A and B are shown apart, each in its own frame.
Chain A
Amino acid sequence: MKTLRTSLAIGLIVASAVPVRAASAPPPGAASCSGCHAPTSQAIPNIYGRDADATRSTLLAFRNGSMPATVMTRIAKGFSEDEIGSIAAWLATQK
């Protein structure tokens, strides 16, 4: 939890200064998300600027299999709980 709160704080400080995505260095794994996810995408949900807790719990549900998905169940298993927390916090700060 401490990691999550710290990265949240860092994320919030950096985000306000920046007009475009990704000005704060993304935590491990997070830079890859934009290959599929975008604010404009229709079929694949936008994950940017969403509430960090919501993103975190969704990713954790993909990871433990309680929420079905096509590909995200396979991807979420590649990240620890801490890493998922950092990614969710960073995504929340992005446009």
Chain B
Amino acid sequence: MTRKNHSSRREFLRAAAAATASLALASPSLAQSPARVVVIGGGFGGASCARALRQLDPSLDVTLVTADRQYVACPFSNEVIAGDRAIEAQQFTYEKIATGGIKLVTQMAQTIDPQARTVGLADGSTLRYDRLVLSPGIDLRFDALPGYDEAAALRMPHAWKAGEQTLLLRRQLEAMDDGGVIAIVVPANPFRCPPGPYERASLIAHYLKTRKPRSKLIILDSKDAFSKQRLFQAAWQELYPGLIEWVALSQGGKVTSVDPATNMLVTDFATHQVQVANVIPPQRAGRIAEIAGVTDKSGWCPINPVSLESTQVPNIHVIGDACIAGAMPKSAFSANAQAKTCASAIVTLLSGATPTSPKLINTCYSLVAPDYGISIAGVYQPRNGLFADIEGAGGTSPLDAPRAVRAREAIYARSWFETIGAEVFG
């Protein structure tokens, strides 16, 4: 596509080039140009995948399409909300990724034509691909909880995509009087970062305990169980007695509507008027997944776990929060692990071979206090079209561990964020 002609017979060569291009269109293997992989999404999944592709095969033509020049990471953003961390520590750019020979496109991808294998961009241009990777993360469903739309999110922040929303919730927390009530509204599964709401509750409680000790935090949950539940609840009793109240689904925790004008949260059993309402709404795969036709009725994307390729549309792979990964949680660690597996599978597929069954690891740390960490880990392999837990492996930190172990896990949590940030963006 970028071949340069230095002959005077320009017209002839132009025609020849056009013929080559149309041949390439019909069959990429005939033109000896490198295989083209387009990756849409610049988070932990997409950026990792673009890099892994080039590392595995430096001859690949890899384009990374991101909506913004900057990425604001969610892991550790709960510390920003609690006032223990600057938002700048969450911000990454793509400059170093570009130096690795990856083409960067900073635009929204708007259309996908799976037959022609093209991606349409906001400026009207198109990108051709042999393989497409979608790592669009989540979209918040502003049609799922009555009263909660985009305008409501300015009054009742979700803070479930890091950035301005994170800072908004931070400001509301700072402005709240001592003695105020803050509510965290949690959706049913599946959603991004299963332990995230409870880490958030913990770190906010840590802030309240030291700064606004007469305040209270209530978690209104659409579930009866949650990730690392026993560890969280034991730690809450130890560190923040009486400060956090968790209302499960069966106790009337499911919020059925909200009123942003009065900061009112309505359940089947009660109405809660609160000073700060953090509403985490139901979610689905990022919009481009639906445009590509890779979502199912659930709003998420079924995949073949060996290759991360969509089961609905060939040559399109879906990684990270957007895909249906079975036992693997929607986490940055999972997205990164899936990205590397997907990159290997794509390189194998482009060579005409068949990818072999992978194994993947996930580890999710949560902070209950700045020096108190807990973790959940898992090892996964494909089974019946999903990632299944390998039995006997994985699980959570022990319930009876001494504080020194919690302190060490907090250090490991911070070390993980440094390392993954450097691997993906550094």
Instruction: Given A29-B360, A31-B337, A79-B359, answer yes or no on A74-B415 (Cβ-Cβ < 8 Å).
Output: no
Q: Are A23 and B379 within 8 A (Cβ)?
A: no
Q: Are A40 and B359 within 8 A (Cβ)?
A: no
Q: Are B56 and A25 within 8 A (Cβ)?
A: yes
Please give the distance in Å from B136's CB to the nearest CB on chain A: 21
Chosen A-B contacts, 8 in total, with CB atoms closer than 8 Å, are: A29-B360, A32-B361, A36-B419, A36-B420, A41-B415, A43-B414, A43-B415, A70-B412
Q: Are B394 and A78 within 8 A (Cβ)?
A: yes
Bound Cα distance A34, B52 (Å): 11
Q: Are A75 and B379 within 8 A (Cβ)?
A: yes
Q: Are A83 and B337 within 8 A (Cβ)?
A: no
Q: How many chain A residues touch the partner (CB < 8 A)?
A: 30
Q: Are A32 and B360 within 8 A (Cβ)?
A: yes
Bound Cα distance A40, B421 (Å): 12
Interface residues in B159-201 by Cβ distance below 8 A to A read: none
Instruction: Given A22-B55, A32-B360, A75-B379, answer yes or no on A43-B333 (Cβ-Cβ < 8 Å).
Output: no
Bound Cα distance A62, B341 (Å): 24
Main secondary structure of the interface of A (DSSP, over half): loop
Q: Are B340 and A44 within 8 A (Cβ)?
A: no
Interface residues in B315-337 by Cβ distance below 8 A to A read: 333, 336-337
Which residues of B come within 8 Å of A, CB atoms?
Answer: 52, 55-56, 333, 336-337, 340-341, 344, 347-348, 356-363, 375, 377-379, 381, 390, 392-395, 397, 405, 408-409, 411-412, 414-416, 418-420, 422-423
Instruction: Given A21-B55, A32-B340, A32-B360, answer yes or no on A75-B418 (Cβ-Cβ < 8 Å).
Output: no
Q: Are B377 and A38 within 8 A (Cβ)?
A: no
Bound Cα distance A70, B414 (Å): 15
With both beta carbons as reference points, the residue of chain A lying nearest to B52 in the complex is identified as: A22
Q: Are B361 and A75 within 8 A (Cβ)?
A: yes
**Contact check: which of A22, A32, A71, A75 meets B412 at CB < 8 Å?**
A71
Bound Cα distance A43, B336 (Å): 20
Which residues of A come within 8 Å of B, CB atoms?
Answer: 20-23, 25-26, 28-29, 31-38, 40-44, 70-71, 74-79, 83
With both beta carbons as reference points, the residue of chain A lying nearest to B390 in the complex is identified as: A78
With both beta carbons as reference points, the residue of chain B lying nearest to A77 in the complex is identified as: B393
Q: Are B420 and A74 within 8 A (Cβ)?
A: no
Can you add 18 more A-B contacts, CB < 8 Å, to A23-B55, A71-B377, A75-B361? A21-B55, A23-B56, A26-B344, A28-B359, A29-B360, A31-B358, A35-B336, A36-B412, A36-B415, A41-B418, A43-B411, A43-B412, A44-B415, A71-B397, A75-B379, A75-B394, A76-B393, A77-B393
With both beta carbons as reference points, the residue of chain B lying nearest to A68 in the complex is identified as: B405
Please give the distance in Å from B388's CB to the nearest CB on chain A: 11
Q: Are B341 and A31 within 8 A (Cβ)?
A: yes
